Amino acid sequence: MPAAWYASDALWSALEYRFDSPDAWRRAGPEAQAILDLIGLPSGADIADLASGTGRIAFELARRGHTVTAVERHPAFANRIAKRARNSGTRVEIVRRDMATFERNSAFDLLLLWNDSFGYFESVADDRGFLARCARSIRPDGKLLIQLTPKELAPDHWPRRTWTPLPGDRLLLEENLLVRSYSMVRHTWIAIDGKARQSWTGLRRLYSASELVAALYEAGFSEVECYGTLTGAPFDRDATTLIAVATR
């Protein structure tokens, strides 16, 4: 199950700028197209976008003719998806629940887990259970795509300390420490609004490429390929991310 800090709506509201900024939306189209190019889905495929955030990838996939289900537990984000769908006339099904328990037997051609949305659960057993539910939700020969920052890239991906100005003269401070022999990253966020402060601390489990591949095979997938870029380059020393594509 998700860790308590991950279930904090206040935290995700503080981090909203990462998912709903103009720059994030400008990237959505190229990212969605790169996903489709990598997977090679037929037109009109059934896709579930897990931990959809504000729905930027879900909308771009729907605009390209696919049937999209956006799974998002954060009420403000789910409401934003619904409002954008109404205003744009784009059809996106919204499932307001945590992806940790989401399952539809053999319902999808693709399950998408984008933008480092894995490793938040309380235990390794929870991770394994989630991946098994993903496998059961995919049709035969369907795929699960996971994009995350692996252990191999973690030291460079998360700067030790950053501060980000937010609208309304607010400030977000963030500290990222690699702990437990580089098996986890500990995030600390402090949101400052005038004299008011709110803070959160959470642990994210890190996977190496080989550890993620092993977990996917254990979950019931028949084939797993790893890439190091959105364009499908190999996962090697020049990789900028880890994209694992698992076939049921």
Tell me the per-residue pLDDT of 167-205, one tens digit each, with 9 for 90 and over. Answer: 788 899 999 999 999 999 999 999 998 888 999 999 999
What rounded mean pLDDT belongs to the chain?
A: 92
Asked whether residue 69 falls in the same domain as residue 111, the answer is: yes
Identify the domain boundary among 203, 223, 239: 203
Range of the domain at 191: 154-203
Residues contacting residue 196 through CB under 8 Å, at least 6 positions apart = none
Is residue 129 located within the same domain as residue 165? no
Q: What is the pLDDT of residue 60?
A: 96
Claim to verify: residue 74 and residue 168 sit in the same structural domain:
no
Q: Judge if 75 and 123 occupy the same domain.
A: yes
18 and 122 housed in the same domain: yes
Which is more confident, 28 or 18? 28
Q: Are residues 88 and 114 in the same domain?
A: yes
Question: Among 11-20, 35-44, 63-72, 124-133, which is the least confidently predicted range?
Answer: 11-20
Statement: residue 158 has pLDDT above 90: no
Mean pLDDT for 211-223 is 97
Share of the chain above pLDDT 70, in %: 99
Q: Which two tokens stand for residue 125?
A: 């057993």
Q: Is 196 found in the same domain as 96? A: no
pLDDT in tens, 50-94: 999 999 999 999 999 999 999 999 998 899 999 999 999 999 999
For 94-111, what is the mean pLDDT? 96
Q: Which of 117, 68, 118 is nearest to 93 (CA)?
A: 68
At residue 170, the pLDDT reads 86
> Do 227 and 111 fall within a single domain?
yes
Number of domains in the chain: 2
Report the CATH number at residue 139: 3.40.50.150
Instruction: Return d(Cα 101, Cα 97) in angstroms, integer.
Output: 8
Residue 167 is given by DSSP the state T
In sequence order, which residues have a C-beta less than 8 Å from that of residue 83 and are 6 or more positions away? Answer: none
- Tell me the one-letter amino acid at 227: Y
Q: Of residues 3 and 7, which shows the higher confidence score?
A: 7
CB 47 within 8 A of CB 60: no
Query: 114 and 32 in one domain?
Result: yes
Quick check: 72 and 59 in contact, CB under 8 A? no
Same structural domain, 93 and 135: yes
What's the rounded Cα separation, in Å, for the pair 103 and 94? 14
Are the CB atoms for 143 and 245 separated by under 8 Å? yes
| Same domain for 162 and 83 | no
Tokens describing residue 129: 């259970």
pLDDT of residue 238: 96
Same domain, yes or no, for 140 and 176?
no
Does the pLDDT value for residue 109 go beyond 70?
Answer: yes
